[in-house]
Every structure is written in C-alpha cells, then in structure tokens.
Amino acid sequence: MRRREFITLIGGAAATLGPGIARAQHPAMPVIGYLGNERSLDPRDDRLADIRGGLSETGYVEGRNLAIEYRWAENRYERLPALAADLVHRRVALIIATTTPSALAAKAETDSIPIVFQIAGDPVRIGLVVSLNRPGGNLTGITKFICRSGRKAP
C-alpha cells in the first residue's frame, strides 16, 4: 500500500470514530470556577469584562482555550457552600470569589485549589488570610476597605 493511500485510510478511520479521538490527543482545557452570591451578571458587566480582559492578556480566551463554570447563589447565601462544593468536585483549576460570603464558602470547601477574591472588607479580620503581606494558604485577592483612621487602606 502506498503512503498516500495509508494516510487517507487512517484519516478516514479517525473521522468515522468521531471527534472524540481528536480531543483525546490534546490536553484538557483548564476550567475556572466563578462563584457569585448575586444573580447571574449581564455578560457585559464590568467585573466579567475585567476578568476576561486579564485572562486574554495572558493568552486565555473563554471558549477557545479556557472554560469558566459560573455558579450563582441568586442572593441566597445558604446556597454558597453547595455551589462551592460543586466547583471543587469538578476540580476547577481556580475559583474566583466575588464577595466575602462567596470567598468564605470557597475557603471552607478547599485548601488546595487557588482562590482569588474581590471583597470590600478586611480579609485578615474576616479570616480569609493570615496577613496582607503574606496571605498564606490558597487565597489571594484584592480588597477595598477603610482603615480606622477613616482613610482608605493602601
């Protein structure tokens, strides 16, 4: 059998088996978990746009080489632990927590999956991190809180 005919045969067999064979040869697409206690956000929301923009700057584009699993508590805080547990069960590579309650729920579910938070309180006082200089553990993030003097924290 000639080389060209052999390659055609192999290509035809692979096509018959379906697209699953092609996917099996590529590494799995990384998945990020997004945990919010609000209702689902408008896709044009600034927070999502900022996250997508930052990921894009590092070469990750949702739907192309990255998946994002969204979990919304719809303002029912009691749902957050189960939603966080679901993300952990799905073995996401990272959890983005958008509020203090969602960050606390994610922290309670895992000490190995990295968690990035955006909160308005003091993460040390709340118990998310050990200190601002050295957060320790698997959490890091940004915060906007007011110091006792009334000035915004650096």
Check residue 133 and give its pLDDT.
Answer: 84
Q: pLDDT tens digits for 17-63?
A: 344 444 455 568 899 999 988 877 665 567 788 888 888 898 999 99
Q: Tell me whether residue 16 is in a domain.
A: no
Q: pLDDT tens digits for 131-154?
A: 888 888 999 888 876 555 555 555
Q: Tell me whether residue 8 is in a domain.
A: no
Q: Tell me whether residue 19 is in a domain.
A: no
- pTM here? 0.74
Higher pLDDT pick, 24 / 111: 111
Q: Tell me whether residue 104 is in a domain.
A: yes
Q: Tell me whether residue 11 is in a domain.
A: no
Q: Tell me whether residue 75 is in a domain.
A: yes
By residue range, what is the domain housing residue 114?
28-143
Check residue 152 and give its pLDDT.
Answer: 53
Averaged pLDDT for residues 101-105? 95
Higher pLDDT pick, 132 / 71: 71
CATH number reported for the structural domain that contains residue 127 in this entry:
3.40.50.2300
Q: Tell me whether residue 18 is in a domain.
A: no
Contacts of 28 (CB under 8 A, 6+ apart): none
| CA nearest neighbour of 96 among 123, 75, 119 | 119
C-alpha distances in Å from residue 144, one per residue of 22, 25, 132: 46, 44, 12
Dist. CA 86–CA 83, nearest whole Å: 5
Instruction: Give how many domains the chain has, as a whole number.
Output: 1
Judge contact between 106 and 84, C-beta under 8 A.
yes
Q: Tell me whether residue 23 is in a domain.
A: no
